[in-house]
Amino acid sequence: MTMDTKNTSASDTAEPDADRSAFERALRADARRNRELILRAADDALAVHGIDASVDEIAARAGVGVGTVYRNFPTKEALLQALLVARIEPLIAAAREAASAPDPGEAFVAFLRRLSDESGAFKALADTMAASGIDLHAAKREVSSDLLEAVGALLKRAQDAGSVRPDVSIQDVSALMAGLGHADPSSMEAGQRSRCVALMCDALLVDARSLLPPA
């Protein structure tokens, strides 16, 4: 009888613990979802209004209260830095995935093209941060090293496969990436960006001569 009582007591104790754990997981999932909604809404609002985008509009776009925005991002600097990290982290994942591709040379070129495709949005965010007085280099420091490490691994694989020139360094690629990230898409005619990427790849690849897209 005593054993039954102990078993019942243990069960009664375990059930509230399990309920509390499930509740805490639900809260964490809800917090993550709100954060993602706010970041997407801020991205959209900044694309339309730039630095003049208001917290009220961001909250309305995200479908959350203004207080929720401030709980996640107490300052504009914190919000913009989170947006920058959110842009760079997928590139880190893409570079890591490309490094394990069957054809690392082709994957390397595809990664550079992706950088080019996303450079316009990156520049717009960088310009907004600069207008807000935020040090871009300091803001992205926490993810820049991870990105360079991932791209460095991709570069080495492409070089080992004989696709990329062996004398190309990660510093070379980093400088080219910076150029892509700061190019103003509005100043380029249609096709010019693709031509620039093709020319850049020709400079990096072994015995490559791309057929340039029309200017």
> For residue 26, with 0-12 CB atoms within 10 Å meaning exposed, 13-18 middle and 19 or more buried, which class applies?
exposed
CATH for the stretch 75-208: 1.10.357.10
Q: What's the mean pLDDT in 34-41?
A: 94
Residue with tokens 């009220």: 56
What confidence category does residue 150 fall into, taking pLDDT thresholds of 50, 70 and 90? very high
Q: Where does residue 133 fall: left (phi above 0), alpha (psi -120 to 50 degrees), or beta otherwise? A: left
CATH for the stretch 17-74: 1.10.10.60
Q: What's the mean pLDDT in 94-116?
A: 94
Helix (H) or strand (E) holding 58: helix 55-62
pLDDT of residue 6: 47
Distance (Å, whole) CA 75 – CA 16: 38
Cβ-Cβ contacts under 8 Å for 176 (sequence gap 6 or more) = 112, 200, 204
Q: Cβ atoms within 10 A of the Cβ of 43, count?
A: 18
Percentage of the chain modeled with pLDDT above 70: 79
Q: Where does residue 178 fall: left (phi above 0), alpha (psi -120 to 50 degrees), or beta otherwise? A: alpha
Cβ-Cβ contacts under 8 Å for 190 (sequence gap 6 or more) = none
Q: What's the mean pLDDT in 55-79?
A: 94
Q: What's the mean pLDDT in 117-133?
A: 82
CB contact at 8 A, 102 and 67: no
**Threshold 0.85, pTM exceeds:** no
Rank 42-51, 122-131, 155-164, 201-210 by mean pLDDT and report only the highest. Answer: 155-164
How many angstroms separate the Cα of 18 from the Cα of each of 11, 24, 26? 10, 10, 12
Distance (Å, whole) CA 209 – CA 198: 9
Query: Domain locations in the chain?
Result: 17-74, 75-208
Is the pLDDT confidence value at 4 over 50?
Answer: no
CB contact at 8 A, 109 and 201: yes
pLDDT of residue 214: 63
Percentage of the chain modeled with pLDDT above 90: 44
Q: What's the mean pLDDT in 30-59?
A: 91
What confidence category does residue 199 fall into, taking pLDDT thresholds of 50, 70 and 90? confident
Is 75-208 the same fold as 17-74? Answer: no
Is the pLDDT confidence value at 106 over 50?
Answer: yes
pLDDT of residue 33: 93
Distance (Å, whole) CA 136 – CA 128: 10
Computed over every residue of the chain, the mean pLDDT equals 83
Assign 164 to helix, strand or coil: strand
- pLDDT tens digits, one per residue of 94-104: 999 999 999 99
Length of the chain (residues) = 215
